[in-house]
Structure 1
Amino acid sequence: MSMLTPPGMGGKKFRVTGDRYPRMRPRRRRGRFAFLTVAALATAGLLGYGTLQLIDVFSADDDGGRAPRAQAGPRPDQDCAPPANDERAPEGADVPEPSAITVNVYNATGRTGLAQDTADALAERGFTIGDVANAPQDLDGQVQAPGLLLGETAAEESGALTVLGAQLEGAETGAPRPAAEGADPASVVDLVLGEGFTELTAADEADRRLAAATVPTGNTPAC
Protein backbone atom coordinates (compact mmCIF):
# COMPACT_ATOMS: atom_id res chain seq x y z
CA MET A 1 0.00 0.00 0.00
CA SER A 2 1.29 3.31 -0.93
CA MET A 3 2.12 5.81 1.72
CA LEU A 4 -0.22 8.26 -0.04
CA THR A 5 -3.22 5.99 0.33
CA PRO A 6 -5.56 7.25 3.07
CA PRO A 7 -6.08 4.93 5.98
CA GLY A 8 -9.01 2.58 5.57
CA MET A 9 -8.93 2.57 1.81
CA GLY A 10 -7.47 -0.87 1.82
CA GLY A 11 -5.39 -0.16 -1.10
CA LYS A 12 -8.36 0.27 -3.37
CA LYS A 13 -8.08 2.64 -6.22
CA PHE A 14 -10.73 5.25 -6.82
CA ARG A 15 -11.25 7.64 -9.63
CA VAL A 16 -13.52 10.57 -10.08
CA THR A 17 -16.36 9.84 -12.43
CA GLY A 18 -19.57 11.55 -13.50
CA ASP A 19 -20.38 14.97 -14.96
CA ARG A 20 -21.33 16.94 -11.79
CA TYR A 21 -19.02 19.72 -10.69
CA PRO A 22 -19.38 22.26 -7.89
CA ARG A 23 -20.96 25.51 -9.02
CA MET A 24 -19.56 28.94 -8.08
CA ARG A 25 -21.99 31.66 -7.03
CA PRO A 26 -21.84 34.78 -9.22
CA ARG A 27 -20.56 37.97 -7.59
CA ARG A 28 -23.15 40.43 -6.47
CA ARG A 29 -23.36 43.52 -8.63
CA ARG A 30 -23.00 46.16 -5.95
CA GLY A 31 -22.66 48.97 -8.50
CA ARG A 32 -26.16 48.41 -9.89
CA PHE A 33 -27.64 48.30 -6.41
CA ALA A 34 -26.00 51.61 -5.48
CA PHE A 35 -27.27 53.25 -8.68
CA LEU A 36 -30.82 52.08 -8.02
CA THR A 37 -30.62 53.45 -4.47
CA VAL A 38 -29.46 56.89 -5.63
CA ALA A 39 -32.15 57.01 -8.31
CA ALA A 40 -34.83 56.13 -5.77
CA LEU A 41 -33.66 58.88 -3.42
CA ALA A 42 -33.60 61.46 -6.23
CA THR A 43 -37.12 60.52 -7.32
CA ALA A 44 -38.38 60.84 -3.76
CA GLY A 45 -36.77 64.27 -3.46
CA LEU A 46 -38.40 65.52 -6.67
CA LEU A 47 -41.78 64.25 -5.57
CA GLY A 48 -41.39 66.01 -2.23
CA TYR A 49 -40.42 69.31 -3.89
CA GLY A 50 -43.37 69.09 -6.27
CA THR A 51 -45.71 68.51 -3.36
CA LEU A 52 -44.42 71.59 -1.57
CA GLN A 53 -44.93 73.69 -4.71
CA LEU A 54 -48.52 72.54 -5.04
CA ILE A 55 -49.19 73.33 -1.39
CA ASP A 56 -47.71 76.81 -1.85
CA VAL A 57 -49.87 77.51 -4.92
CA PHE A 58 -53.12 76.46 -3.29
CA SER A 59 -52.39 78.21 -0.01
CA ALA A 60 -51.41 81.58 -1.58
CA ASP A 61 -53.43 84.76 -1.01
CA ASP A 62 -56.04 86.08 -3.40
CA ASP A 63 -53.38 88.03 -5.26
CA GLY A 64 -51.73 84.81 -6.35
CA GLY A 65 -49.04 84.96 -3.70
CA ARG A 66 -46.93 87.18 -5.85
CA ALA A 67 -44.70 89.74 -4.20
CA PRO A 68 -45.63 93.33 -5.00
CA ARG A 69 -43.74 94.72 -7.93
CA ALA A 70 -41.09 97.24 -6.97
CA GLN A 71 -41.77 100.79 -7.95
CA ALA A 72 -39.64 101.96 -10.80
CA GLY A 73 -37.18 104.65 -9.72
CA PRO A 74 -36.56 107.82 -11.61
CA ARG A 75 -34.35 107.74 -14.65
CA PRO A 76 -30.90 109.35 -14.34
CA ASP A 77 -32.06 112.23 -16.56
CA GLN A 78 -35.06 113.00 -14.35
CA ASP A 79 -34.94 115.73 -11.74
CA CYS A 80 -37.31 115.21 -8.85
CA ALA A 81 -36.12 118.09 -6.70
CA PRO A 82 -37.99 121.40 -6.95
CA PRO A 83 -36.01 124.64 -6.90
CA ALA A 84 -34.45 125.53 -3.56
CA ASN A 85 -36.86 128.42 -2.96
CA ASP A 86 -39.76 126.06 -3.87
CA GLU A 87 -41.62 128.76 -5.78
CA ARG A 88 -44.13 127.04 -8.07
CA ALA A 89 -46.39 128.74 -10.53
CA PRO A 90 -50.10 127.96 -10.14
CA GLU A 91 -51.02 124.65 -11.82
CA GLY A 92 -51.97 125.13 -15.43
CA ALA A 93 -50.82 128.77 -15.48
CA ASP A 94 -48.40 130.09 -18.12
CA VAL A 95 -45.40 131.81 -16.58
CA PRO A 96 -44.44 135.16 -18.07
CA GLU A 97 -41.51 135.65 -20.40
CA PRO A 98 -38.40 137.25 -18.82
CA SER A 99 -38.99 140.39 -20.88
CA ALA A 100 -42.33 140.86 -19.10
CA ILE A 101 -40.65 140.86 -15.69
CA THR A 102 -39.01 143.96 -14.25
CA VAL A 103 -36.20 143.14 -11.82
CA ASN A 104 -34.83 145.61 -9.31
CA VAL A 105 -31.34 144.47 -8.27
CA TYR A 106 -29.98 145.51 -4.87
CA ASN A 107 -26.61 144.75 -3.32
CA ALA A 108 -26.72 143.85 0.39
CA THR A 109 -23.03 142.92 0.54
CA GLY A 110 -19.84 144.94 0.77
CA ARG A 111 -18.70 143.93 -2.72
CA THR A 112 -18.62 146.88 -5.06
CA GLY A 113 -20.34 146.57 -8.46
CA LEU A 114 -22.10 143.30 -7.63
CA ALA A 115 -25.60 144.65 -8.35
CA GLN A 116 -24.62 146.10 -11.72
CA ASP A 117 -22.82 142.95 -12.87
CA THR A 118 -25.81 140.82 -11.93
CA ALA A 119 -28.25 143.19 -13.59
CA ASP A 120 -26.23 143.01 -16.82
CA ALA A 121 -26.29 139.20 -16.69
CA LEU A 122 -30.06 139.18 -16.18
CA ALA A 123 -30.52 141.63 -19.05
CA GLU A 124 -28.65 139.21 -21.31
CA ARG A 125 -31.23 136.58 -20.39
CA GLY A 126 -34.07 138.85 -21.47
CA PHE A 127 -35.20 140.38 -18.17
CA THR A 128 -36.20 144.02 -17.97
CA ILE A 129 -33.99 145.83 -15.45
CA GLY A 130 -35.40 148.47 -13.13
CA ASP A 131 -33.43 149.95 -10.21
CA VAL A 132 -29.80 148.94 -9.61
CA ALA A 133 -28.51 150.13 -6.24
CA ASN A 134 -27.38 149.23 -2.77
CA ALA A 135 -29.93 147.43 -0.61
CA PRO A 136 -32.20 149.43 1.72
CA GLN A 137 -30.75 150.02 5.15
CA ASP A 138 -32.96 147.42 6.82
CA LEU A 139 -31.53 144.72 4.48
CA ASP A 140 -27.92 145.88 4.16
CA GLY A 141 -25.66 143.12 5.52
CA GLN A 142 -28.69 141.12 6.70
CA VAL A 143 -29.02 138.63 3.83
CA GLN A 144 -26.86 135.53 4.24
CA ALA A 145 -28.41 133.49 1.41
CA PRO A 146 -27.28 133.94 -2.21
CA GLY A 147 -30.30 136.14 -2.79
CA LEU A 148 -33.65 137.31 -1.45
CA LEU A 149 -36.69 137.58 -3.72
CA LEU A 150 -39.27 140.20 -2.80
CA GLY A 151 -42.53 140.96 -4.53
CA GLU A 152 -46.23 141.38 -4.00
CA THR A 153 -48.62 138.44 -3.86
CA ALA A 154 -49.60 139.20 -7.46
CA ALA A 155 -46.00 138.57 -8.57
CA GLU A 156 -46.08 135.15 -6.95
CA GLU A 157 -49.44 134.28 -8.48
CA SER A 158 -48.35 135.40 -11.94
CA GLY A 159 -45.22 133.23 -11.85
CA ALA A 160 -42.79 136.17 -11.97
CA LEU A 161 -41.13 135.05 -8.73
CA THR A 162 -40.81 131.52 -10.12
CA VAL A 163 -39.08 132.66 -13.28
CA LEU A 164 -36.59 134.86 -11.45
CA GLY A 165 -36.02 132.29 -8.69
CA ALA A 166 -34.91 129.72 -11.27
CA GLN A 167 -31.99 132.00 -12.17
CA LEU A 168 -30.39 131.82 -8.72
CA GLU A 169 -30.13 128.53 -6.85
CA GLY A 170 -30.54 128.91 -3.10
CA ALA A 171 -32.42 132.19 -3.30
CA GLU A 172 -34.99 132.70 -0.54
CA THR A 173 -38.36 134.39 -0.72
CA GLY A 174 -39.15 137.14 1.74
CA ALA A 175 -42.39 138.70 2.87
CA PRO A 176 -44.43 140.45 0.18
CA ARG A 177 -43.08 143.92 -0.49
CA PRO A 178 -45.15 146.70 -2.09
CA ALA A 179 -44.15 147.62 -5.62
CA ALA A 180 -43.26 151.15 -6.53
CA GLU A 181 -46.13 153.49 -7.24
CA GLY A 182 -47.40 153.09 -10.79
CA ALA A 183 -45.68 149.73 -11.35
CA ASP A 184 -47.52 146.54 -12.18
CA PRO A 185 -47.32 144.44 -8.99
CA ALA A 186 -47.67 141.21 -10.97
CA SER A 187 -44.51 141.82 -12.97
CA VAL A 188 -42.10 143.58 -10.57
CA VAL A 189 -39.66 141.57 -8.42
CA ASP A 190 -36.81 142.79 -6.19
CA LEU A 191 -33.63 140.71 -6.10
CA VAL A 192 -31.46 141.46 -3.07
CA LEU A 193 -28.01 139.88 -3.40
CA GLY A 194 -26.71 138.35 -0.17
CA GLU A 195 -23.40 137.19 1.26
CA GLY A 196 -23.81 133.71 -0.24
CA PHE A 197 -23.99 135.02 -3.80
CA THR A 198 -21.27 134.02 -6.25
CA GLU A 199 -22.96 134.01 -9.64
CA LEU A 200 -26.26 133.27 -11.34
CA THR A 201 -27.22 129.70 -12.15
CA ALA A 202 -26.04 128.65 -15.62
CA ALA A 203 -28.65 129.53 -18.27
CA ASP A 204 -29.34 125.95 -19.35
CA GLU A 205 -29.63 124.81 -15.73
CA ALA A 206 -31.99 127.72 -15.02
CA ASP A 207 -34.20 126.64 -17.92
CA ARG A 208 -34.29 123.08 -16.55
CA ARG A 209 -35.15 124.31 -13.06
CA LEU A 210 -37.92 126.52 -14.44
CA ALA A 211 -39.38 123.61 -16.41
CA ALA A 212 -39.36 121.44 -13.27
CA ALA A 213 -41.00 124.20 -11.20
CA THR A 214 -43.88 124.68 -13.65
CA VAL A 215 -44.76 120.97 -14.11
CA PRO A 216 -48.39 120.39 -13.02
CA THR A 217 -48.62 118.56 -9.69
CA GLY A 218 -50.00 115.35 -11.19
CA ASN A 219 -47.15 115.12 -13.70
CA THR A 220 -44.24 115.44 -11.29
CA PRO A 221 -41.83 112.47 -11.76
CA ALA A 222 -42.06 109.85 -9.01
CA CYS A 223 -39.03 109.65 -6.71
Structure 2
Amino acid sequence: MGGEYRIRGNKYPRMRRPRRGRLVVLAVASVAALGMIGWGTLQLIDVFTGNGRKASAAGAKADCETKVTPSGTPSPSATGPLPEPGGITVNVFNATTRSGLAKQTADELKKRGFKIGDVGNAPKEFDKKVKGTGIVLGPAESINGSLPVLATQLTSAERRTDAARKGKDVDLIIGNSFKALTKKADADKALAALAEPEPTSTAAEQNC
Protein backbone atom coordinates (compact mmCIF):
# COMPACT_ATOMS: atom_id res chain seq x y z
CA MET A 1 0.00 0.00 0.00
CA GLY A 2 1.45 3.28 -0.95
CA GLY A 3 0.64 6.87 -0.51
CA GLU A 4 -0.15 8.45 2.79
CA TYR A 5 -1.27 5.26 4.54
CA ARG A 6 1.41 2.64 4.95
CA ILE A 7 1.68 -0.50 7.03
CA ARG A 8 4.63 -0.42 9.30
CA GLY A 9 6.05 -3.21 11.38
CA ASN A 10 5.00 -6.85 11.29
CA LYS A 11 1.45 -6.41 12.77
CA TYR A 12 -1.59 -6.08 10.61
CA PRO A 13 -4.99 -4.76 11.68
CA ARG A 14 -7.68 -7.42 12.16
CA MET A 15 -11.07 -6.98 10.47
CA ARG A 16 -14.09 -7.69 12.74
CA ARG A 17 -17.02 -9.74 11.44
CA PRO A 18 -20.26 -7.87 10.97
CA ARG A 19 -22.68 -8.04 13.93
CA ARG A 20 -25.89 -8.17 11.82
CA GLY A 21 -26.36 -11.95 12.19
CA ARG A 22 -26.01 -11.83 15.96
CA LEU A 23 -28.55 -9.01 16.27
CA VAL A 24 -31.09 -10.92 14.19
CA VAL A 25 -30.74 -13.99 16.42
CA LEU A 26 -31.21 -11.89 19.56
CA ALA A 27 -34.29 -10.19 18.10
CA VAL A 28 -35.92 -13.52 17.20
CA ALA A 29 -35.18 -14.94 20.66
CA SER A 30 -36.68 -11.87 22.34
CA VAL A 31 -39.87 -12.08 20.28
CA ALA A 32 -40.23 -15.78 21.10
CA ALA A 33 -39.73 -15.14 24.81
CA LEU A 34 -42.31 -12.34 24.83
CA GLY A 35 -44.77 -14.60 22.99
CA MET A 36 -44.40 -17.33 25.59
CA ILE A 37 -44.84 -14.85 28.44
CA GLY A 38 -48.00 -13.42 26.82
CA TRP A 39 -49.47 -16.88 26.22
CA GLY A 40 -48.82 -17.87 29.83
CA THR A 41 -50.47 -14.66 31.07
CA LEU A 42 -53.60 -15.35 29.00
CA GLN A 43 -53.81 -18.85 30.41
CA LEU A 44 -53.64 -17.52 33.98
CA ILE A 45 -56.32 -14.91 33.25
CA ASP A 46 -58.57 -17.61 31.80
CA VAL A 47 -58.10 -19.77 34.88
CA PHE A 48 -58.96 -17.00 37.32
CA THR A 49 -61.74 -15.37 35.32
CA GLY A 50 -63.18 -17.36 32.44
CA ASN A 51 -63.32 -20.77 34.07
CA GLY A 52 -64.54 -19.22 37.32
CA ARG A 53 -67.42 -17.56 35.52
CA LYS A 54 -68.30 -20.80 33.78
CA ALA A 55 -68.28 -22.68 37.08
CA SER A 56 -70.43 -20.01 38.73
CA ALA A 57 -72.86 -20.04 35.82
CA ALA A 58 -73.07 -23.82 35.96
CA GLY A 59 -73.73 -23.74 39.69
CA ALA A 60 -76.38 -21.04 39.32
CA LYS A 61 -78.05 -23.05 36.56
CA ALA A 62 -78.11 -26.12 38.77
CA ASP A 63 -79.67 -24.09 41.58
CA CYS A 64 -82.28 -22.71 39.20
CA GLU A 65 -83.18 -26.22 38.11
CA THR A 66 -83.60 -27.53 41.64
CA LYS A 67 -85.08 -24.61 43.60
CA VAL A 68 -88.84 -24.06 43.48
CA THR A 69 -90.44 -21.69 45.93
CA PRO A 70 -94.15 -22.08 46.65
CA SER A 71 -96.45 -19.09 46.78
CA GLY A 72 -97.21 -17.30 50.03
CA THR A 73 -100.47 -19.21 50.37
CA PRO A 74 -100.14 -22.06 52.88
CA SER A 75 -100.01 -25.45 51.17
CA PRO A 76 -101.59 -28.59 52.59
CA SER A 77 -98.24 -30.39 52.52
CA ALA A 78 -96.62 -27.69 54.67
CA THR A 79 -99.37 -27.05 57.21
CA GLY A 80 -101.50 -30.18 56.98
CA PRO A 81 -104.79 -30.57 55.10
CA LEU A 82 -107.00 -27.50 55.14
CA PRO A 83 -110.32 -27.96 56.92
CA GLU A 84 -113.45 -28.36 54.85
CA PRO A 85 -116.14 -25.65 55.22
CA GLY A 86 -118.33 -28.20 56.99
CA GLY A 87 -115.71 -28.50 59.72
CA ILE A 88 -115.61 -24.75 60.44
CA THR A 89 -118.02 -23.02 62.78
CA VAL A 90 -118.55 -19.35 61.89
CA ASN A 91 -120.00 -16.67 64.15
CA VAL A 92 -121.48 -13.83 62.10
CA PHE A 93 -121.66 -10.37 63.66
CA ASN A 94 -123.02 -7.11 62.26
CA ALA A 95 -120.92 -4.02 63.07
CA THR A 96 -123.02 -1.67 60.89
CA THR A 97 -126.24 0.26 61.46
CA ARG A 98 -128.02 -1.80 58.79
CA SER A 99 -130.22 -4.45 60.32
CA GLY A 100 -130.53 -8.00 59.04
CA LEU A 101 -127.02 -8.27 57.52
CA ALA A 102 -125.78 -10.85 60.01
CA LYS A 103 -128.67 -13.26 59.41
CA GLN A 104 -128.58 -12.86 55.61
CA THR A 105 -124.84 -13.49 55.53
CA ALA A 106 -125.09 -16.44 57.90
CA ASP A 107 -127.77 -18.04 55.72
CA GLU A 108 -125.59 -17.68 52.63
CA LEU A 109 -122.56 -19.16 54.41
CA LYS A 110 -124.71 -22.07 55.53
CA LYS A 111 -125.69 -22.72 51.91
CA ARG A 112 -121.98 -22.82 51.05
CA GLY A 113 -121.36 -25.57 53.57
CA PHE A 114 -120.18 -23.73 56.69
CA LYS A 115 -121.53 -24.40 60.17
CA ILE A 116 -123.10 -21.37 61.80
CA GLY A 117 -122.62 -20.47 65.45
CA ASP A 118 -123.69 -17.16 67.00
CA VAL A 119 -125.46 -14.55 64.87
CA GLY A 120 -126.12 -10.98 66.00
CA ASN A 121 -124.65 -7.55 66.64
CA ALA A 122 -120.89 -7.12 66.92
CA PRO A 123 -119.21 -6.70 70.32
CA LYS A 124 -118.60 -3.14 71.51
CA GLU A 125 -114.94 -3.19 70.49
CA PHE A 126 -116.06 -3.61 66.85
CA ASP A 127 -119.59 -2.15 66.75
CA LYS A 128 -119.68 0.72 64.19
CA LYS A 129 -115.86 0.71 64.10
CA VAL A 130 -115.19 -1.47 61.06
CA LYS A 131 -114.83 0.78 58.01
CA GLY A 132 -113.91 -1.92 55.50
CA THR A 133 -116.01 -4.79 54.22
CA GLY A 134 -115.33 -6.91 57.27
CA ILE A 135 -112.93 -8.70 59.58
CA VAL A 136 -112.23 -12.42 59.75
CA LEU A 137 -111.12 -13.16 63.30
CA GLY A 138 -109.95 -16.41 64.87
CA PRO A 139 -107.53 -18.01 67.35
CA ALA A 140 -103.81 -18.04 66.61
CA GLU A 141 -103.86 -21.66 65.38
CA SER A 142 -106.43 -20.77 62.71
CA ILE A 143 -103.96 -18.61 60.76
CA ASN A 144 -103.12 -21.41 58.31
CA GLY A 145 -106.40 -23.29 58.55
CA SER A 146 -109.97 -22.16 59.11
CA LEU A 147 -109.17 -18.43 58.86
CA PRO A 148 -107.98 -18.39 55.21
CA VAL A 149 -110.74 -20.85 54.26
CA LEU A 150 -113.40 -18.49 55.59
CA ALA A 151 -111.61 -15.52 54.00
CA THR A 152 -112.23 -17.01 50.55
CA GLN A 153 -115.90 -16.14 51.05
CA LEU A 154 -115.10 -12.45 51.59
CA THR A 155 -111.74 -11.89 49.95
CA SER A 156 -111.62 -8.19 50.80
CA ALA A 157 -111.99 -8.81 54.55
CA GLU A 158 -109.16 -8.08 56.97
CA ARG A 159 -107.65 -11.10 58.70
CA ARG A 160 -106.86 -11.05 62.40
CA THR A 161 -105.91 -13.54 65.08
CA ASP A 162 -106.28 -13.38 68.86
CA ALA A 163 -103.67 -15.35 70.81
CA ALA A 164 -105.81 -15.23 73.96
CA ARG A 165 -108.86 -16.61 72.20
CA LYS A 166 -110.05 -20.11 73.14
CA GLY A 167 -111.79 -22.64 70.96
CA LYS A 168 -111.74 -23.19 67.20
CA ASP A 169 -114.64 -20.97 66.04
CA VAL A 170 -113.93 -18.05 63.74
CA ASP A 171 -115.84 -14.80 63.42
CA LEU A 172 -116.99 -12.86 60.40
CA ILE A 173 -117.58 -9.28 61.48
CA ILE A 174 -119.45 -7.30 58.83
CA GLY A 175 -118.13 -3.75 58.21
CA ASN A 176 -119.61 -0.55 56.80
CA SER A 177 -118.38 -1.18 53.23
CA PHE A 178 -119.93 -4.65 53.06
CA LYS A 179 -122.34 -5.28 50.19
CA ALA A 180 -122.28 -9.03 49.73
CA LEU A 181 -120.09 -12.07 50.06
CA THR A 182 -117.68 -12.91 47.24
CA LYS A 183 -119.57 -14.60 44.40
CA LYS A 184 -119.74 -18.33 44.99
CA ALA A 185 -117.96 -19.22 41.74
CA ASP A 186 -115.07 -16.91 42.61
CA ALA A 187 -115.01 -18.15 46.20
CA ASP A 188 -114.83 -21.75 44.99
CA LYS A 189 -111.88 -20.89 42.74
CA ALA A 190 -110.10 -19.16 45.61
CA LEU A 191 -110.73 -22.16 47.85
CA ALA A 192 -109.36 -24.56 45.22
CA ALA A 193 -106.26 -22.40 44.74
CA LEU A 194 -105.78 -22.31 48.52
CA ALA A 195 -105.87 -26.10 48.73
CA GLU A 196 -103.40 -26.62 45.87
CA PRO A 197 -101.21 -23.50 45.48
CA GLU A 198 -99.09 -23.29 42.32
CA PRO A 199 -95.35 -22.71 42.75
CA THR A 200 -94.15 -19.20 41.92
CA SER A 201 -90.69 -17.92 41.01
CA THR A 202 -88.68 -15.77 43.36
CA ALA A 203 -86.60 -12.80 42.27
CA ALA A 204 -83.47 -14.96 42.27
CA GLU A 205 -85.11 -17.56 40.02
CA GLN A 206 -86.29 -14.88 37.62
CA ASN A 207 -82.66 -13.86 37.20
CA CYS A 208 -81.97 -17.39 35.94
For 2:88 and 2:140, the matched residues in 1 are separated by 14
Q: CA deviation at 1:179?
A: 4.4
2:160 pairs with one of 169, 174, 197: 174
Aligned partners of 1:91 and 1:132: how far apart in 2?
30
Query: Does residue 160 of the first structure (1) align with residue 141 of the second (2)?
Result: no
Output the amino acid matched with 2:139.
E
1:89 aligns with 2:89: no
Show CA shifts across 1:110-157 (max 9, x none).
Answer: 000000000000000010000001000110111111110110111123
CA contact (8 A) 2:95 2:130 kept: yes
Note the aligned Cα RMSD (angstroms).
Answer: 2.5
- Kindly indicate whether residue 126 of structure 2 is the aligned counterpart of residue 139 of structure 1: yes
Within the candidate set 182, 189, 207, 1:201 is matched to 182
Larger radius of gyration: 1
Is 1:151 the counterpart of 2:151? The answer is no
**Could you list the runs of 5+ residues in structure 1 that have no partner in the other structure?**
1-61, 63-81
Aligned partners of 2:177, 2:123: CA distance in 1, in Å? 18
Paired residue secondary structure (1:133): strand
Partner of residue 106, structure 2: 119
Alignment check: 8 A CA contact 2:140 2:161 kept: no
Answer yes or no: is the 8 Å Cα contact 1:89–1:156 preserved in 2: no
Residues 208, 220 of structure 1: alpha-carbon distance in 2 compared, 3 angstrom cutoff? farther
Secondary structure of the structure 1 residue equivalent to 2:182: coil
> What is the CA-CA distance between 1:169 and the residue it aligns to?
2.1
Structure number with the higher helix fraction is 2
For each residue in 1:2-30, what CA deviation from the matched residue of structure 2 results, as whole angstroms up to 9, or x when unmatched? xxxxxxxxxxxxxxxxxxxxxxxxxxxxx
Q: Distance in 2 between matches of 1:191 and 1:199?
A: 13
Partner of 2:33: none
> In percent, how many aligned pairs have the same letter?
42
The gaps in structure 2 that reach 5 residues or longer are 1-53, 55-70
Asked whether the 8 Å contact 2:103–2:119 carries over to 1, the reply is: yes
Structure-2 separation of matches of 1:96 and 1:126: 12
State the TM-score, normalizing by the size of structure 2: 0.57
Aligned twin of 1:212: 193
Structure 2 counterparts to residues 1-150 of structure 1, below 5 A: 88-92=73-77, 93-150=80-137
Residues 128 and 91 (structure 1 numbering): CA distance in 2 closer, same or farther, change over 3 Å?
Answer: closer
- Give yes or no for contact 1:108–1:143 (8 Å, CA) kept in 2: yes
Structure 2 SS opposite 1:174: strand
Q: Is the 8 A contact 2:132 2:178 kept in 1?
A: yes
Distance in 1 (alpha carbons) for counterparts of 2:146 and 2:165: 13
